[in-house]
Amino acid sequence: MASKAQITPAQIRDAILAQRDFATGFFADLAADSTDPAGGITRDTYGRGENHGHAVMRAAARDSGLDVTVDAAGNTYARWRAAGPGQTVLLGSHLDSVPSGGNFDGAAGALAGLVCIRALRALGLVPRLDICAMGIRAEESVWFQTSYIGSRAALATLPAETYDTARRIDTGRTLGEHMADCGCDVAALRGGARALDPATLAAFIELHIEQAPSLVKLGRAMASCTAVPGNFRYPDVRIIGEQGHVGTPRRFRRDAAMAGAELAARMDRFWAEHEAAGTPIAITFGRFHTDDRIHGLTSVPGLFHFSIDLRAYDEEILAQAEAFFLAQCSQIEAERQVRIELGPRKSAPVGHASPEIRAQLQAAAGWLGQELMTMGSPASHDAAAFAAAGVPMAMLFIRNANGSHNPDEAMEIDDFLEGCTLIAAHLARQYASVGT
């Protein structure tokens, strides 16, 4: 068997750069049928836009001569098979988007798998285990208010009731109904069907655009992820007070909006204290409103709605933060004579990147002459669902101007190809041999 020394960094780099037209063509094909008249890109989860994304990936994978399969949840796999049975390395990300989002969030990671496989094959390498690009369904939780639907369905870690309880925010129809429309086998999933057995997965590696401006500000093309934050979320909290006349003295009021405002201010101070202490967390009140059927200039609001997403990189911090949040709710209930109905609670565990794969990526970067910094992920990613299932996980963030979840995402193809070069070098060094 030949050794990795027979492939040079320059060969890997050239083989990846030769995929430039394939990569730009893939992004153009994706955009061609998911551009939203309202602006940006919409690849709606278990809808027309996401279906288009998977059709583009299947066509590109077939054109590349890979084995293409689709699982019961509609995830797409493009597999480069090893000669014998063994484990699989998955390279993937999601193909859905938020409404009026950008073309790169998610799709870049699914494409990176195809690009790396094509480059390594062109170099005449032979995989020692299956290397598989995965296009994942339903990562954007805005549509069904639920995290990691596609990856958790594949791993059989999505709670079975989700198929009936999660409803798409725009259509009001259930996840199960939307999945059935997309040709998924919901009955099999309800019965516990598992497309991906963690024991058969050597690694899950996800390339993703950075969704914060850190890399742009630092002038660096990419970073290796240390961890994906865990979170707790209450998507639909109601504060119930008493509607009253605008002239009601303060002491007689049960003002639901003021209660919400005070809670948000307390949580923001809690965040500021953590930030000052160097402990990264993030708190977002994504919904924050009175009831527009009854609110008005001259009414004391008797009903207030909000959502909260609190994320952190440490389970202990997450637990402390939730205890603090709940304590504030109780105090404000007593002080302001309101009732706070928390509604459903969702959570996701912290996903730690595998120290072993991180070290291997650093070694590959050194071999290529690349500098590779590390950072905690600002956002949630499917990689965390794989980590939670016990699969060794790594992520590579690519510099991206203008943030994400908007039409102005701006990843440079050069940066994308630089990231693919690193992943391909890692694969070549760990999992492939020079063919005979």
Residues in the chain: 436
Tell me how far, at minimum, the Cβ of 209 lies from Zn ion, in Å.
8
CB of 416 to Zn ion, least distance (A): 14
Q: How far is the CB of 15 from Zn ion (least distance, A)?
A: 27
Q: Please say which residue, 255 or 409, places its beta carbon nearer to Zn ion.
A: 409
Closer by beta carbon to Zn ion, 92 or else 260: 92
206 DSSP β-pair partners:
395
Closest approach of Cβ 41 to Zn ion, in Å?
12
Which tokens sit at 176? 């199960």
**Binding characters for Zn ion, 89-118, by CB under 5 A (x = yes):** ----------------xx------------
Number of residues that bind Zn ion (CB under 5 A): 2
Of 181, 93, 180, the residue nearest 138 (C-alpha): 93
Regarding 409 and contact with Zn ion (CB under 5 A), the answer is no
Distances (CA, A) of 321 to 231, 281, 284, 289: 10, 9, 13, 23
The nearer residue to Zn ion, 370 or 380, going by C-beta atoms, is 380
Backbone angles phi, psi at 390, to 5 degrees: 90, 10
Q: Are 304 and 238 in contact (CB under 8 A)?
A: yes
Q: How far is the CB of 139 from Zn ion (least distance, A)?
A: 6
Measured at the CA of 313, the angle between CA 310 and CA 317, to 5 degrees, comes to: 65
- C-alpha torsion angle, residues 210, 213, 218, 224 (rounded to 10): -20
**Between 105 and 418, CB nearer to Zn ion:** 105
Residue nearer to Zn ion on the CB measure, 134 or 338: 134
Shortest Cβ distance from residue 161 to Zn ion (Å)?
A: 25
Cβ within 8 Å of residue 409, ≥6 positions away: 101, 102, 103, 104, 105, 209, 400, 401, 402, 403
Shortest Cβ 105–Zn ion spacing (Å): 4
Nearer to Zn ion, 105 or 210 (CB): 105
Dihedral sign for Cα atoms in the order 27, 29, 32, 33: negative
Nearer to Zn ion, 106 or 392 (CB): 106
Positive or negative, the CA dihedral 15, 16, 17, 21 is positive
Residues that bind Zn ion (CB under 5 A): 105-106
